[in-house]
Every structure is written in C-alpha cells, then in structure tokens.
C-alpha cells in the first residue's frame, strides 16, 4: 500500500516522457537550494569576517618596559652545560681575576 499523497505531490520518474522535465525541475530545485545554502552560510559568516576585520585584528603591542636582556639570548643551554665544567676549572686556576 502506497501513501497517495506522495504520488500526488511528485510525479513518478519512471515515465520516460516526463523524465527529462522532471529531472530538469529536480536539478533546478536542488541548484536553487544549494545556492540558498551558500547564501545562508555567507549570511552567517560575513558578520564574523567583518567583525574580525574590524575588531579582531591581531595587534602586537610593544612591552611597556624595555627588554633588558636581549644579549646572549641565542646561546643554547646545551652549550652552557658542555662548557660549565671547564669554566669552573678556569675560574679556579685564574682566581686572581675572578
């Protein structure tokens, strides 16, 4: 038993003569709905994009205080660990200047 409402609302597609027109209508309908979805998405996203452009820009502010120790910042810890033992010996052997 088929529900009559469905067959009445949409013509059956197995009719060869009506197939092309049915397909046409169907395709046009789906294209329209796809475009609608894009617009709906755009309508949702555009304010966000606009908001991001207006207020959400990443702002990099300079620190209030000057950075004191920029010197030696690229010296790696592993280098310091490697040299530490030798440096301690050097300091002991040259006590008059340390």
Partner 1 sequence: MMSRRFRNVATALALGAMALGPLMTSAALAQARDPAYAAARSAGQVGEKIDGYLGFVTPPAPALRAVIDDVNIKRKAVYADKAKANNATVEEYALTSGCVLIAQTRPGEKYQAPDGTWQTRGAGAPLRDARCP
Q: Does 81 bind partner 1 (CB under 8 A)?
A: yes
CA distance 83 to 81: 5
CA distance 37 to 91: 75
2: which DSSP letter? -
CA dihedral 91, 95, 97, 98 (to 10 degrees): 50
Stretch that binds partner 1, among 11-19, 27-35, 47-55, 67-75 (CB under 8 A): 67-75
Q: Does 59 bind partner 1 (CB under 8 A)?
A: no
Smallest gap from Cβ 60 to partner 1, in A, equals 22
Smallest gap from Cβ 61 to partner 1, in A, equals 20
Smallest gap from Cβ 65 to partner 1, in A, equals 9
| Closest C-alpha to 24, from 38, 32, 44 | 32
Interface positions with partner 1 (CB under 8 A): 68-69, 71-72, 75-77, 79-84, 86-88, 90-91, 94-98
């Amino acid at each position: 038993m088929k529900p009559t409402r469905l067959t009445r609302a949409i013509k059956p597609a197995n009719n060869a003569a009506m197939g092309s027109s049915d397909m046409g209508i169907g395709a046009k309908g789906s294209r329209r709905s796809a475009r609608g979805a894009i617009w709906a998405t755009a309508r949702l996203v555009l304010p966000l994009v606009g908001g991001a452009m207006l207020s959400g820009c990443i702002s990099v502010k300079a620190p209030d205080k000057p950075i004191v120790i920029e010197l030696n910042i690229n010296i790696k810890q592993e280098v310091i660990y490697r040299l530490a033992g030798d440096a301690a010996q050097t300091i002991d052997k040259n006590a008059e200047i340390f």
